[in-house]
């Protein structure tokens, strides 16, 4: 029965992220704002075109840094209160911008309130789900829960495009504000953390005759790393830098995909956002499963290498008029970007345990916000100067190549433990595992 309760929590967390993933649909809102600026007239937006991405960039930054207090709230008050708080903040943000075209109102409303609200909702969903399942499934469970965030634009982008064309941008923001409050208030009630003494059952082997729940707990022992000592660890900063690179490169494309696709797809450019979302979501689930089986480090290195090649390919695609090529490259970039959101929380749980997971991952997640903020602003500046995103893609590709090299400097004894659990050593006695993996923390 407890296992089934865990499935309910996973479904609720995934649905919460399906709502919060509206952040990735900014490019649809951006195009509407840009059209209003160009058209001019009474009641139109009068922003500087170079600042048009500022609310989105700030939302990414606020989202990331609010993950620290939101994670602490999740650790202290539980997922229900934290998710409900997120729903209130997101709703207030949308209701605020629904009544103004002023630049600063959108910066505060979307960049501040919506960004902070997403952090509270997001920080509540994954920890609650992970606690119900054994360590060997961390990548899969994290991937499923966060896949909702990546998949959201698949329905929000066409919905937003329809509402904007039918009712206008401001009225659409009003609808979203009301819908978010209702949805997150209901879904938050299903986020239930297991009892403190709860021990998730282990998995059986393919023949069904290997109950390894005790071995799972021994291979992945309880750790209680405090947030204060985390900042002193080389491993933390290595992961932080990798997250900065991987997230920044992906968010740069996601924030501009509608504009890139509009050259070849016209008013149907929102479809590129929706298709990219499918790649984003599938990347989270698939790479989460692969990292469970083959190890976080190996999968992360492969993702960064693939992403680097795609960025170099995107430098060509951004100059091409072929809609199919633009969508294909963007979808694969979304796939690799989504992998970050499954691998890094699993890495954090492996290394630093669950008691302070919300705070630990919140600290690591600041790299996501900094990467997005820096790369989004940087790409927009280069676009304003050169008229294209070609140079931005080349710089991002170079950073990802550096990231590939950095992954080989990561130390993760639990990666070896996971290989022992899933691979040829599965049926060896526990003392043999200890002999092969003597330094597990």
Q: Which residues contact 357 (CB under 8 A, 6 or more apart)?
A: 71, 75, 127, 130, 348, 349
pLDDT, tens digit (0-9, with 9 covering 90-100), for 164-219: 889 989 999 999 999 989 999 999 999 988 877 777 765 444 433 334 444 444 44
Domains of the chain: 2-40+47-193+233-428 (1.20.1250.20)
Q: Is the pLDDT of residue 227 over 60?
A: yes
Return the higher-pLDDT residue of 216 and 354.
354
Q: How confident is the model at residue 15 (pLDDT cuts 50, 70, 90)?
A: very high
Tell the residue number behind the tokens 């959108």, with chain if given: 106
Whole-angstrom distance, CA of residue 293 vs CA of residue 424: 12
pLDDT, tens digit (0-9, with 9 covering 90-100), for 305-317: 999 998 888 777 6
* Cα–Cα distance list, 266 to 261, 263, 321, 400, 414 (Å): 7, 6, 11, 31, 49
Q: Tell me the mean pLDDT in the region 236-241.
A: 92
Please spell the DSSP secondary structure of 124-175, one letter per residue: HHHHHHHTTS-GGGHHHHHHHHHHHHHHTHHHHHHHHHHHHHHH-HHHHHHH
Q: How confident is the model at residue 275 (pLDDT cuts 50, 70, 90)?
A: confident
- Give the pLDDT of residue 435: 41
CB atoms within 10 A of CB 41: 6
- How much is the mean pLDDT over the chain? 80
Q: Which residues contact 267 (CB under 8 A, 6 or more apart)?
A: none
pLDDT, tens digit (0-9, with 9 covering 90-100), for 295-347: 888 899 999 999 999 888 877 765 655 666 777 777 888 888 888 988 998 88
Q: Tell me the mean pLDDT in the region 215-235.
A: 66
């Amino acid at each position: 029965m407890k296992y089934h309760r865990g499935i309910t929590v996973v479904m609720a967390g995934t649905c919460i992220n399906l709502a919060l993933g509206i952040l990735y649909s900014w490019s649809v809102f951006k195009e509407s704002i840009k059209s209003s600026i160009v058209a001019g007239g009474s009641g139109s937006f009068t922003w500087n075109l170079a600042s048009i991405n500022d609310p989105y960039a700030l939302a990414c930054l606020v989202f990331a840094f609010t993950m620290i207090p939101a994670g602490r709230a999740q650790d202290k008050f539980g997922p229900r209160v934290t998710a409900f708080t997120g729903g209130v903040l997101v709703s207030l943000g949308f209701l605020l911008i629904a009544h103004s075209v002023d630049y600063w109102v959108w910066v505060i409303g979307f960049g501040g309130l919506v960004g902070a609200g997403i952090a509270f909702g997001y920080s509540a969903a994954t920890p609650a789900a992970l606690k119900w399942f054994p360590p060997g499934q961390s990548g899969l469970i994290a991937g499923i829960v966060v896949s909702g965030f990546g998949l959201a634009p698949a329905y929000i982008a066409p919905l937003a495009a329809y509402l904007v064309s039918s009712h206008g941008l401001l009225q659409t923001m009003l609808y979203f504000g009301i819908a978010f409050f209702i949805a997150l208030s209901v879904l938050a009630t299903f986020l239930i953390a297991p009892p403190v003494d709860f021990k998730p059952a282990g998995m059986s082997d393919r023949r069904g005759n290997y109950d390894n729940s005790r071995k799972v707990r021994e291979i992945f022992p309880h750790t209680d790393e405090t947030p204060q000592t985390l900042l002193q660890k080389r491993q933390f900063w290595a992961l932080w830098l990798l997250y900065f690179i991987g997230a920044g490169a992906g968010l740069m494309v996601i924030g501009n995909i509608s504009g890139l696709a509009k050259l070849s797809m016209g008013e149907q450019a929102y479809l590129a956002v929706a298709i990219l979302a499918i790649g984003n979501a599938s990347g989270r689930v698939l790479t989460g499963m692969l990292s469970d089986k083959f190890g976080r480090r190996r999968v992360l290195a492969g993702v960064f290498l693939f992403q680097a090649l795609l960025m170099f390919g995107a430098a060509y695609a951004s100059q091409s008029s072929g809609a199919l090529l633009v969508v294909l490259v963007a979808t694969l970039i979304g796939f690799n970007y989504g992998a970050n959101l499954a691998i890094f929380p699993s890495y954090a749980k492996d290394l630093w345990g669950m008691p302070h997971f919300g705070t630990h991952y919140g600290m690591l997640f600041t790299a996501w916000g900094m990467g997005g903020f820096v790369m989004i602003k940087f790409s927009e500046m280069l676009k304003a100067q050169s008229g294209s995103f070609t140079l931005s893609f080349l710089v991002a590709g170079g950073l990802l190549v550096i990231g590939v090299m950095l992954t080989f400097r990561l130390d993760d004894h639990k990666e070896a433990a996971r290989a022992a659990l899933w691979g040829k050593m599965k049926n060896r006695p526990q003392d043999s595992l200890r002999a092969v993996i003597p330094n597990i923390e």
